[in-house]
């Protein structure tokens, strides 16, 4: 067994198709429109919002005589008035690695605006169990020892069963391996380290950060979504400008007056 730390990787994000955008702005009659958005995602959300009222410049829609020029002000107003569907347009693709099945069970409850790909423990052999120790475990030597010993024993069982069931026998049909591996995972611990891919739109990311950095949430998901929030505030500062941080129990709690836009 090995001790691990949950990790957050950003592996993708929405990008603007510059040719397509230029063609649309020309079609609309505002080929020189520019935004001071710090990211493609924030610019795209601004565009999707502005097209609703044709508010790219005053007079484009005769009902509009003045507009917000600034991307930050524009996005924060959308958030304040809870025009949440506009921020669904862009996504970020994450991989969470060395997270437990405790974490993944909680994460997949967030369905709206998300996509999930989870490491299959029906296919992937558990021959090297990783364990992240929550604070209460780390702070108690006896608890820590029991956890580590249990993980070592459960790993030994997995290796032993693989031998008994001849999983490495040359020519063993893949289907049989799958059936046996899936049966073996039933005696694996919920705390084992695994990997999950999570893609979500900005509306879903905001909601999940708000719910899962809250001090009422479980420590591991607070830890992971604290990292997610730190990345989002850095990469999309205008979209998350309304967030403030309070540290509770050693972990950040991301708070806003604009919950669940």
Ligand X SMILES: Cc1cc2nc3c(=O)[nH]c(=O)nc-3n(C[C@H](O)[C@H](O)[C@H](O)COP(=O)(O)OP(=O)(O)OC[C@H]3O[C@@H](n4cnc5c(N)ncnc54)[C@H](O)[C@@H]3O)c2cc1C
- By CB under 6 A, name the binding residues for ligand X: 109-112, 207, 211, 216-217
Instruction: Give least dist CB 211 to ligand X, A.
Output: 4
Nearer to ligand X, 166 or 218 (CB): 218
Nearer to ligand X, 74 or 225 (CB): 225
Instruction: Give least dist CB 136 to ligand X, A.
Output: 17
57 and 33 Cβ atoms separated by less than 8 Å: yes
Instruction: Give least dist CB 110 to ligand X, A.
Output: 4
For 30, 52, 111, 214, the CA distances from 56, given in Å and listed in that order, are: 7, 10, 33, 37
Nearer to ligand X, 148 or 217 (CB): 217
Closest to 189 (Cα-Cα) out of 156, 221, 155, 223:
155
Nearer to ligand X, 36 or 85 (CB): 85
Nearer to ligand X, 170 or 216 (CB): 216
- Identify the three-state secondary structure at position 61: coil
Instruction: Give least dist CB 169 to ligand X, A.
Output: 42
- Identify the three-state secondary structure at position 123: coil
Instruction: Give least dist CB 112 to ligand X, A.
Output: 4
Closest to 210 (Cα-Cα) out of 261, 169, 144:
261
**CA–CA gap between residue 77 and residue 68 (Å, rounded):** 9
Neighbours of 243 (CB within 10 A): 19
């Amino acid at each position: 067994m090995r001790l691990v730390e949950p990790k957050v990787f950003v592996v993708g994000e929405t990008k603007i198709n510059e040719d397509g955008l230029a063609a649309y702005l020309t079609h609309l009659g505002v080929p020189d429109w520019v935004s001071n958005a710090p990211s493609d995602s924030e610019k795209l959300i601004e565009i999707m919002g502005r097209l609703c009222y044709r508010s790219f410049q005053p007079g484009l829609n005769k009902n509009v005589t003045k507009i917000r020029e600034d991307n930050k002000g524009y996005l924060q107003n959308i958030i304040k008035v809870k025009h949440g569907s506009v921020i669904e347009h862009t996504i970020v693709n994450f991989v969470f690695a060395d997270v437990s099945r405790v974490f993944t069970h909680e994460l997949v409850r967030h369905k709206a605006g998300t996509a999930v790909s989870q490491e299959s423990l029906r296919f992937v052999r558990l021959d090297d169990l990783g364990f992240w120790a929550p604070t209460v475990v780390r702070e108690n030597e006896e608890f820590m020892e029991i956890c580590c010993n249990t993980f070592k024993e459960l790993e030994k069982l997995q290796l032993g069963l693989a031998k008994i069931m001849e999983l490495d026998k040359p020519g063993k049909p893949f289907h049989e391996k799958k059936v046996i591996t899936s049966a073996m995972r039933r005696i694996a611990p919920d705390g084992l380290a695994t990997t999950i891919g999570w893609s979500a739109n900005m509306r879903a990311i905001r909601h999940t950060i708000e719910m899962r950095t809250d001090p009422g949430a479980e420590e591991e998901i607070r830890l992971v979504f604290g990292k997610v929030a730190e990345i989002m505030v850095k990469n999309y500062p205008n979209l998350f400008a309304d967030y403030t941080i309070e540290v509770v129990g050693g972990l950040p709690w991301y708070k806003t007056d604009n919950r669940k836009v």
